[in-house]
A and B are shown apart, each in its own frame.
Chain A
Amino acid sequence: MNEIREDIKAYLDQELPEEQVRAVEEALAADPALGRELHDFRLISRSLEASAKPIPVAGWQPLPSRPRFAWWVWAAPACVFALAVVILGPRVGGFTASDQAVPTAAVGSSPAVESAAAPEMGGQSARAAVEGFSAPLGRDSRSRDKSSLAAEAMNKRPSPGSGSAPFAPEHIFREIIKSGNIEVRVKEVADAATAITTMADGMSGFVESSNATGGQNPSASITLRVPAPRFEEAMKSIRALGVVLNESSSGSDVTAAVVDLEARIRTLRSEEETLRQILRQTRRIGEVLEVRDRLTQVRSEIESMSGQAKALKDQAAYSTITASLSQGPNPEAKDNDQPWAEDALNSALSSLSGFGRMLGTIGIYFLVFSPLWLPVLLIALWLNKRNKS
C-alpha cells in the first residue's frame, strides 16, 4: 500500500505508466484515505499554480537581420579600393600604408600594444620600422614625434643601429621613476575605488594594494601601478572622481644609476669570461679552486646588479600612484565643476576636430579612387538585383 501511496502525486501529475495508473485507481477505489490525500494534493497543486507571481519579460532585442545586399556587393569595390590604395598609395602625396601603421603603434605605449604592434612590422622591431619610414621624409617634426612615441611603446628599447644616435640607447632615453599621491573626497568611496581599479585595468596597469574601512566615514587607500607614459592621464582621471584635498607628485631620475649598473655588469661579464678561460687552462688544484671562488663571486655580483637594474627599469616603466579616498559633504564640488566641464569640452572639441580630419582624409581618398571602385560597385549592385529577380 505504501508503494501505491508514493505514486499518488505522480498519478495526479499524469507521470505514471499505464499499468501503474490502473493499480493506483484500484487502490483509490478501495481506500477513502488515499482519495482524501489525492484531493488535498490537487488543492495544493492548484493553489500553488494560481498563486504564481507573474513575471513580465524584459530585455530582449532580436539580432540584426540579414543585410539587404549580399556581402560581396560591398566586398568587391572595397577590395578594389584597398588594392588601389596599396599599389598607388605611395605616389599619391607620399601617403603610405606604413604611415598609417606608425601612429597605431605609437598611440598606446603599454606593453600590450607593444607586443601587438611588433607582428605588423613584418618581423622587424617597431623601432626599426619607424627609422626606415622616417628617413626618406627628412626627419620632419611629425616623424620625430612618431619615432619617440614608438620608442616609448617599445618600452624604451631602441634598436642599436638607429643611425643618428651617437650614444648607447640608455643615454638617450631617461629612466625616471614617477610617483604620485592624491587625496580625494568622493561621493561614494566604493564606486570611486571600483572606477580606479577599472581605470588601472584599462591602462594595462594594476592595483598593487588596497585597503578600505567602513563605518560612518568610509575611506580607502589604493596603490596602483600604471604605465609611465599614462601617469598624467591616470592622475587626471582620479582628480575627476571628486574634490582633490591634497596632491603631490615626484620624479626621480635613475638613468645614471642604470647606466652605471649596466657598465659594471659589462665589466664583470668580461672578467667572468677571462676567469673561465683561465679555468680551462689551469691544471693545479689550488689555482682551480681559487679561480672558481672568484668566478662564483663574480657571477653573484652580476645576478645582483642585473636584478637591481631590472627593478629600476620596472619602476620607471610603471609609475606608482597612491590614491586616498574619503567620503563626506562636499562644499567645494560646485567650484570644481567648471574646470571639469572645460576640460571635457576641450577634449571633446579636440576629438571632434581629429575625427573630422580623419573623415575628410577618407572622403578625399574615396573620391580620388572612385573611377576604380565605383564601376565595380555598380556591376555588383546590378548582379545582386539580377540574382534577386
Chain B
Amino acid sequence: MDDQIQQAQRGSREALNRLIADHYAAVYRFCARRLGEELAKDAAQDVFLTMQKNLKTYQGASAFSTWLFGIAHNRTRELIRSRKREPLPLSDWLADGSGPAEDGLIAKESLRRALAELSEDHRQVVLMHEIEGFKYSEIAGILSIPEGTVKSRLHHAFLSLRRSLCEGQS
C-alpha cells in the first residue's frame, strides 16, 4: 500500500492533505459530470469526509483511486435519487455546439443523439471509459460489476453507436 495512504491512516494531517490534493480535481469532475457544477463542491466534500472516516478500513484490495471513486459513485447516486435528477445528463459530459470537435471527427450533435439512444448502463460505461478515461478494471471496481461485464457492455454500446451514426448519415 502507498506510503502516503499508510501515513494518512495513522492520522498524519499532511499525508491526508496531500491525498486530498492529489485526488480532489478528479473527484470534483466525477461529481460535476453527474450532479452539475453547483452541487459538485458539496458532493466532493462529502466524498472526502467519508474517505477520511473510512480510511482505516481501506485494506488495499483495489487501487486507492478505485476505492475513492466507489465512494463518489455511491454518494452521487444517492444525491441523484434524492433530488430526482436525470442520471448522466449529456449536457454535463459533451461540450456545447453541434459541429465536430476537430476536423475529421464526428459532429457533437450526432454523438449526443447516438449516446441518448443507449441504455443507461451502456451509456455509463461508455462515458466513464471514453470521457473520464477509466480502465476496464477501474470501472468494474467503481460500479461493483465484473470486468467481463464492462467489456461486453462497451462492445455492445459501440456497436449500437456505430449503427445509430451510420443510420444518421444515411
Chain A residues proximal to chain B, CB less than 8 Å: 6, 8-10, 13, 15, 37, 40-41, 43-55, 57-60, 62-63, 65-66
Contact = CB atoms under 8 A, between A and B. Distances in A.
Given A13-B136, A59-B45, A66-B14, A49 B131 contact: yes
Give the interface size class of chain B. 35 or more
A63 B106 contact: no
B95 A6 contact: no
Given A47-B111, A63-B16, A52 B165 contact: no
A13 B139 CA distance: 13
Given A52-B93, A53-B92, A58-B37, 9 more contacts: A9-B155, A10-B136, A44-B158, A47-B105, A47-B106, A50-B101, A53-B94, A55-B29, A65-B17
A386 to B, nearest CB: 24
A40 B14 CA distance: 47
A54 B161 CA distance: 23
B130 interface: yes
Contacts of A63: 13, 16-17, 20
Nearest to A48: B130
B28 A59 contact: yes
B116 to A, nearest CB: 13
A53 B95 contact: yes
B19 to A, nearest CB: 11
B136 A51 contact: no
Interface of B: 13-14, 16-17, 20-21, 24-25, 28-29, 32-33, 37, 40-41, 44-45, 91-96, 100-102, 105-106, 108, 111, 126, 129-131, 135-136, 151-152, 154-155, 158, 161-162, 165
Contact of B130 (A49, A60, A66): A49
Contacts of B101: 47, 50-51
Contacts of B14: 65-66
Contacts of A13: 129, 136, 154
3 A-B pairs with the lowest CB-CB distances in the bound complex, closest first: A59-B41, A50-B101, A47-B106
A44 B162 contact: yes
A362 B37 CA distance: 46
Contacts of B21: 60, 62
Given A6-B152, A52-B95, A43 B105 contact: yes
Contact of A47 (B91, B100, B152): B100
Contacts of B93: 52-53
B25 A52 contact: no
Contact of B24 (A47, A60, A65): A60
A45 B129 CA distance: 9
